[in-house]
Amino acid sequence: MAEYRRSPSDLSDARWELVEPILAAWRAERRGPDLDIGRPPDHDLHSLLDAILYVNRTGIPCPYLPEGLGR
């Protein structure tokens, strides 16, 4: 994955460690044990959450997201 410049709205590593197990469990549950087929997800959960927080905190519409924030 390409690196991008961190935004002030990005989660810190310490906060990411708190939410990552919950989001990883959600993703695993959504895929299910029998659905381990197909391609892996395109984006990591940390980048997706950072993009959601960026839009939430700045009000910027999704099409105007900077490169690297979940696009």
DSSP label at residue 1: -
Low-confidence ranges of the chain (pLDDT < 50): 1
Give the pLDDT confidence of 25-40 residue by residue, as tens digits: 888 887 766 666 666 7
The pLDDT value given to residue 32: 66
Instruction: Give the per-residue pLDDT at 56.
Output: 85
Six-digit token string for 29: 């549950």
Query: Is the pTM above the cut of 0.75?
Result: no
Neighbouring C-beta atoms of residue 42, cutoff 10 Å: 9
